[in-house]
């Protein structure tokens, strides 16, 4: 019960009762809607028994009174406590502005617009990446010509974080991948009685492609994101602006050590992945193919040339350059607030993996043209 | 009449004691300023009173309930009776301004969507913002506007108590003055009890009814006139320092 009504002839008395606050508002609104006030000419609202009125309650009361007024009836608000009156009078003059219209277009046009925006953005991103790569190369060249500017401590720290700490996970991943490959290969090749070629399959694919590619993807997820987040947070804290005003070159201090560290470390990680991958292949061959370790080694030696190993290793520094550059670029692109850091970190990983796979495809074409 | 009574409070982080034997009384419908040096535990005290930080010992009575004895549900029920303005607004970054203000209403009431929206606009109007900021994201707002929106969200359920953590920090003097004025107006019109943690001497001298000073892990409270007379080196430095002097002179002259 939020109000009581009494009617006589064409007059309706409404006595407000108890608290009218946001907690009761939903029910009061419902009760008011069901109130048949429109057949009376004069409506009196008595607020004597109203105990609490807050802004939400006052808003509802004001709307109710305005509704009655707009129906050309007489309405009076009586006996309102001074405290409640002050809230009511605070709310009374407020007129809500019409809601701002949101721009609406047809769904079809919106799709086209988004497609266009996406394409333009992708193109801009590509240009940005190219100019950033250029900048990194220039600074890299400059640093190499002035070896005093190489920040050895920083490079070693990043090598530790991106390399040494990643060895266990990279090794485990390569091992398990080759176990899976060997298992699938053996099952399929058995149908042709060519199980022994499982060794060729696993050894070649690990050394040529899987070792380096999986390592690069793992490092992009681990370190590319870390680069973007670290530099992004520094960007939010204006640390990078501070460096510039102190005459320090953020490229020299932040980007070059990370790029150099990753270029040095990714081949090592790839080597680790290759070796544990072969270990996995050997283990599976012994278990599935019923051969000895010596037989495995003989077969593997026949299948794998020096170039099989070389093709994988050559790609590692290029992938490292891609991952580190994109990670740093995304960190540098963070502007304003901290929310951007998360967005850019995600984008760093996605773009780095995409560009790594793109580069891998290009390498495949080049190597096949060269006949290796 | 006291609406919040803190007795013999002790808070501790590891071996670092922040408050010890702290007593504080906050009266109904007053504006209380909490001041103290950096690291003296102003914000910790505020966070303890609103239940975000568990004290080591002591009692906090708020709106007649013993805060530390409340169950989780009890705490949720009582929390709707106060609104909190965090230092940087703490607006939810993924929601628009209007949605931000509606969050407490969604959680605690069964209001219709139309009514919620109306009330959100009403609160925006109360804090002096126009309706066309309603569909903006918090990141598109200036610092002063963000604080006003945060205040609107704190007022969403018409609380009895309003806790403000450094409301004027980071605002220019004009915006800070306007924000002080807004808090004062709302307090008078809505009969709010307002607790302000602040560094801003202007806020202290212009709108606070009483001031609680945290020194030596305890609170000394009183009106400004009373505190100005205290003979303690920290008080002397704080209230009679160069930044405070002209303000207190103004106050004495009745400006």
**pLDDT of res. A271:** 96
Strand order in the sheet with A3-8: A3-8, A11-20, A42-53, A74-78
The dihedral over CA atoms of A32, A35, A41, A44, expressed in degrees to the nearest 10, equals -50
- For B114-148, b/e burial (b = at least 16 CB within 10 A) is ebbbbbbbbbbbbbebebebbeebbeebeebbbbb
CB A302 within 8 A of CB A256: no
Both tokens of A150, joined, read 């190489």
State the Cα–Cα distance between residues A16 and A27, nearest whole angstrom. 14
The answer to whether A26 contacts B112, with C-beta atoms less than 8 Å apart, is yes
Q: How far apart are CA B12 and CA B48, in angstroms?
A: 11
Instruction: Test B191 with A83 for CB contact under 8 angstroms.
Output: yes
Closest CA to B68 of B13, B17, B27, B10: B10
Quick check: A14 and A44 in contact, CB under 8 A? yes
Structural contact between residues B67 and B161, judged by C-beta atoms closer than 8 angstroms: no
Asked whether A174 and A273 are in contact (CB, 8 A), the reply is: yes
Which residue from B93, B110, B158 is facing A54, i.e. has the nearest CB? B158
Mean pLDDT of chain B: 84
Chain segment B84-96, per-residue pLDDT in tens = 888 888 888 888 8
Alpha-carbon distance of B56 to A354, in angstroms, equals 53
Q: How many CB atoms lie within 10 A of CB A234?
A: 19
Residue B189's pLDDT band, with cuts at 50, 70 and 90, is confident
Q: Cβ B135–A100 below 8 Å, yes or no? A: yes
Q: Please report where in the chains the tokens 């005290």 appear, as a residue.
A: B45
| Mean pLDDT of all residues in B17-25 | 86
Residue A103 confidence (pLDDT): 61
**Are residues A22 and B109, on separate chains, in Cβ contact within 8 Å?**
yes
Task: Encode pLDDT of B125-147 as tens digits.
Answer: 888 888 888 888 888 888 888 88
Residues 6+ apart with CB under 8 A from A287: none
**Probe site for chain A from B101, B115, B136 (most A CB atoms < 10 A):** B115
Report the complex ipTM.
0.74
pLDDT, tens digit (0-9, with 9 covering 90-100), for B86-124: 888 888 888 888 889 888 888 888 888 888 888 888 888
In sequence order, which ranges of A102-166 are alpha helices (DSSP H)? 107-145, 152-162
Which segments in chain A show pLDDT lower than 70?
A: 97-104
pLDDT of residue B253: 57
Q: Measured between CA atoms, how close is B189 to chain A, in angstroms?
A: 6
- Nearest CA to CA, how far is B240 from chain A (Å)? 35
Contact A12, A42 (CB under 8 A): yes
Task: List residues of B whose CB lies inside 8 A of any A CB.
Answer: 93, 105, 108-112, 115, 118-119, 121-123, 125-126, 130-132, 134-135, 139, 155-158, 189-191
- A27, A96, A334, A343: best mutation site toward chain B, by most B Cβ within 10 Å? A96
Contacts of B131 in chain A (CB under 8 A): 96-100
- Return the DSSP state at B141: S
Q: Which residue of chain B comes nearest to A86, CA vs CA?
A: B189
Q: Identify all chain A residues contacting B105, using CB atoms and an 8 Å cutoff.
A: 22
Cα dihedral sign, B248-B252-B253-B255: positive
Sign (positive or negative) of CA dihedral A45, A46, A49, A51: positive
Question: How far is the alpha carbon of A54 from chain B, nearest alpha carbon, in Å?
Answer: 6
pTM tops 0.95: no
Q: Is a pLDDT exceeding 50 seen at residue B255? A: no
- Residues of A with CB below 8 A from B157's CB? 22-23
Of A29, A100, A337, the CB nearest to B112: A29
Percentage of chain B beyond pLDDT 90 is: 1
User: What pLDDT score does A100 carry?
Assistant: 55
From chain B, the residues in CB contact with A336 under 8 A are 139
pLDDT in tens, A294-338: 999 999 999 998 899 999 999 999 999 999 999 999 999 998 777
Radius of gyration of chain B measured on its C-alpha atoms: 19
**B chain contacts of residue A51, beta-carbon cutoff 8 Å:** none
B99/chain A closest Cα distance in angstroms: 14
DSSP SS3 for A1: coil
- CA B127, B132, B134, B139 dihedral sign is negative
Cβ neighbors of A248 (< 8 A, separation 6 or more) are none
Written as six digits, the tokens of A29 are: 């609104």
Q: How far is B92 from chain A (nearest CA, A)?
A: 11
**Cβ atoms of A359 and A318 closer than 8 Å:** yes
Distance CA B189, CA B208 (A): 16
Q: Do B139 and A337 touch (CB under 8 A)?
A: yes
> Alpha-carbon distance A225 to A237, whole Å?
18
> Do the Cβ atoms of B109 and A97 come within 8 Å?
no
Give how far B199 is from chain A: nearest CA, Å.
Answer: 23
Q: How far apart are CA B101 and CA B122, in angstroms?
A: 10
| Closest CB from A59, A87, A99 relative to B119 | A59
Task: Using CB atoms, pick whichever of B118, B126, B131 lies closest to residue A100.
Answer: B131
Long-range contacts of A359-367 (CB under 8 A, 24+ apart): A359/A315, A359/A318, A359/A319, A359/A322, A360/A209, A360/A213, A360/A315, A360/A319, A363/A311, A363/A314, A363/A315, A363/A318, A367/A311
Asked if the Cβ–Cβ distance from A56 to B189 is below 8 Å, we say: no
Question: In this predicted structure, what is the pLDDT of residue B249?
Answer: 60
B141: chain A residues, CB-CB within 8 Å: none
């Amino acid at each position: 019960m939020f109000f009581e009504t009494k009617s006589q002839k064409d007059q309706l008395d409404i006595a407000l009762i108890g608290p009218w606050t946001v907690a009761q508002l939903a029910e009061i609104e419902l009760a008011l809607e069901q109130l048949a006030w429109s057949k009376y000419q004069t409506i009196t609202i008595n607020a004597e028994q109203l105990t609490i009125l807050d802004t939400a309650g006052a808003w509802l009361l004001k709307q109710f009174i305005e509704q009655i007024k707009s129906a050309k009836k007489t309405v009076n608000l009586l006996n309102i406590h001074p405290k409640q009156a002050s809230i009511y009078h605070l709310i009374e003059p407020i007129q809500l502005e019409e809601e701002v219209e949101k721009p609406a277009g047809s769904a079809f046009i919106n799709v086209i617009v988004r497609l266009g925006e996406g394409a333009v953005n992708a193109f801009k991103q590509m240009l940005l990446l190219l100019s950033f790569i250029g900048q990194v190369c220039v600074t890299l060249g400059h640093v190499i010509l002035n070896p005093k500017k190489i920040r050895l401590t920083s490079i070693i720290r990043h090598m530790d974080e991106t390399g040494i700490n990643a060895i266990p996970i990279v090794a485990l991943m390569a091992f398990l991948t080759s176990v899976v490959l060997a298992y699938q290969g053996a099952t399929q090749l058995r149908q042709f009685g060519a199980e022994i070629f499982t060794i060729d399959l696993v050894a070649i694919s690990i050394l040529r492609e899987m070792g380096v590619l999986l390592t690069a993807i793992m490092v992009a997820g681990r370190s590319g994101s870390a680069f973007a987040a670290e530099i992004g947070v520094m960007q939010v804290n204006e640390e990078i602006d501070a460096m510039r005003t102190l005459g320090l070159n953020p490229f020299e201090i932040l980007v070059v050590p990370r790029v150099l560290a990753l270029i040095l470390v990714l081949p090592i990680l790839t080597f680790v992945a290759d070796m544990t991958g072969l270990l996995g292949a050997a283990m599976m061959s012994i278990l599935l193919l019923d051969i000895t370790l010596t037989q495995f080694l003989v077969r593997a030696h026949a299948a794998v040339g020096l170039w099989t190993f070389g093709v994988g290793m050559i790609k590692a520094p290029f992938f490292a350059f891609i991952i580190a550059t994109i990670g740093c670029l995304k960190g540098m692109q963070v502007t304003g607030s901290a929310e951007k850091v998360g967005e850019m970190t995600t984008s760093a990983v996605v773009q780095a993996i995409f560009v790594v796979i793109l580069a891998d495809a290009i390498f495949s074409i080049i190597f096949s043209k060269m006949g290796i | 009449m006291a609406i919040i009574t803190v007795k013999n409070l002790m808070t501790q982080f590891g071996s670092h004691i922040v408050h010890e034997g702290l007593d504080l009384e906050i009266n109904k419908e007053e504006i209380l300023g909490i001041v103290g040096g950096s690291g003296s535990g102003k914000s910790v005290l505020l966070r303890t009173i609103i239940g975000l930080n568990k004290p080591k010992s002591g009692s906090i009575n708020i709106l007649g309930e013993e805060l530390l004895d409340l169950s989780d549900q009890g705490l949720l029920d009582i929390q709707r009776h106060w609104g909190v303005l965090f230092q940087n607004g703490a607006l939810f970054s993924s929601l628009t301004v209007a949605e931000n203000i509606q969050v407490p209403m969604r959680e605690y009431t069964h209001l219709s969507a139309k009514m919620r929206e109306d009330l959100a606009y009403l609160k925006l109007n109360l804090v002096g913002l126009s309706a066309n900021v309603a569909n903006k994201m918090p990141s598109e707002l200036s610092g002063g506007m963000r604080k006003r929106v945060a205040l609107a969200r704190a007022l969403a359920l018409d609380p009895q108590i309003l806790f403000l953590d450094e409301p004027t920090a980071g605002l220019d003097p004009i915006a800070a003055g306007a924000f002080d004025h807004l808090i004062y107006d709302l307090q008078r019109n809505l009969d709010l009890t307002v607790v302000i943690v602040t560094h801003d001497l202007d806020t202290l001298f212009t709108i606070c009814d009483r001031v609680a000073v945290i020194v030596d892990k305890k609170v000394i409270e009183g009106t400004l006139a009373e505190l100005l007379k205290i003979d303690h080196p920290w008080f002397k430095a704080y209230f009679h320092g160069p930044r405070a002097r002209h303000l207190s002179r103004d106050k004495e002259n009745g400006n």
